[in-house]
Amino acid sequence: MALSEHEQRLLDEMERGFYQSEADVLQAGSAEPRRLNYRSLVLGVIVVVAGIGVLVAGVAVQLLWLGLVGFAIMLGGVVLMLSRRSSGPLTVDDITSASAGPRAAKSSRESLSERMERRWDQRMEGER
What lies within 8 Å, CB to CB, of 63 at 6+ separation is none
Give the Å distances, CA to CA, from 94 to 33, 67, 82. Answer: 11, 43, 21
Average pLDDT of the chain, as a whole number: 76
Q: What is the dihedral of CA 73, 75, 76, 77, to 10 degrees?
A: 90
Question: Does 117 have pLDDT greater than 70?
Answer: yes
Residue percentage of the chain with pLDDT more than 70: 66
Instruction: Assess whether pLDDT exceeds 90 at residue 102.
Output: no
| CA angle, 119 then 104 then 80, to 5° | 105
Q: Domains of the chain: which residue ranges?
A: 5-127
pLDDT of residue 33: 56
pTM of the model: 0.43
- DSSP-based three-state secondary structure for 69: helix
pLDDT digits (tens, 9 = 90+) for 76-92: 998 888 876 555 554 55
CB 70 within 8 A of CB 56: yes
